[in-house]
Amino acid sequence: MSYWERLDRYRTDGPEAAGAFALQPAERFRAVVGGLGDGHLAPLGWRRARGLRWTRAVRPQVEAVLEMHAMKSGVGARWGLTLGFVPPVQRPRRLDLSHDPLDHQRDVRPWSLSQFATDEELRADGADLFRRAAAGAEAFCPSGRDLVTLREAFERKKGAQFVRLRFQAYPQEVVAYAAVLGLLGERARAEEELTALDRVPAGDVDRVRRVLNELWARGREAV
């Protein structure tokens, strides 16, 4: 039985039918999830980075990332790309282009793991989750093939239907999109995108602009 099935049983038939729910210690929970991810992803060519984050090279300066990010009493899957030529807005560095399924759908079950799940439930739910997430991350990798495909990927994300955070909520991705536009000779559009950084400290925006101007001056050979 999965954790989500047991939760449904609790809601329909009461505590007696579902058993007790206990919050797993965070360290143990993350260790179990990390082991599940290693077991599924390592044979596919992914390597563990820090925390619950796995990476794989796509081409020079482009790296695919699959990570389990913190949620309330659990973790959720997202994936995307980091671009070595894009300046970081924050530390630790965020993804330069990401896909979080929970930005686009309300049902958390297919894409998250609960800290209230037992080890057995985590193994069952985690196997399914990592299988789906790995497939999504693999399908995302071609977006990093070249600057044109990156621009197209950013534009698909901007035009997607959102139920949670929207594109402009990810400052690192706004900067990355601007970087790509500028390298493709679309400086006016790049500058327009940077105006969305209204929640980023002015000093950080100035630093990012300086780095981007240097990048654009070097041109495509920089990437």
Total tally of structural domains belonging to the chain: 1
What is the greatest pairwise CA distance in the chain? 67
| 107, 110, 167, 191 from 158: Cα distances, Å | 21, 23, 6, 16
Weakest-pLDDT range from 147-151, 157-161, 191-195: 157-161
Contact 76, 69 (CB under 8 A): yes
pLDDT digits (tens, 9 = 90+) for 24-42: 999 999 999 999 999 999 9
Q: Domain span at residue 121?
A: 3-222
What is the pLDDT at residue 9? 84
What is the rounded distance in angstroms from the CA atom of residue 7 to the CA atom of residue 132? 21
- Determine the average pLDDT of the residues in 122-137: 95
Q: Is the pLDDT of residue 80 over 90?
A: yes
**Tokens at residue 144, please?**
């990093």
Question: Percent of the chain beyond pLDDT 70?
Answer: 100
Rg from Cα positions in the chain: 20
- The length of the chain in residues reads 223
What is the pLDDT at residue 179? 97
Q: Is the pLDDT of residue 91 over 90?
A: no
Q: Is the pLDDT of residue 56 over 80?
A: yes
CA 63 to chain centre: 12
What is the rounded distance in angstroms from the CA atom of residue 164 to the CA atom of residue 103? 5
What is the rounded distance in angstroms from the CA atom of residue 96 to the CA atom of residue 80? 8
Neighbours of 164 (CB within 10 A): 12
Q: What is the mean pLDDT of the chain?
A: 92
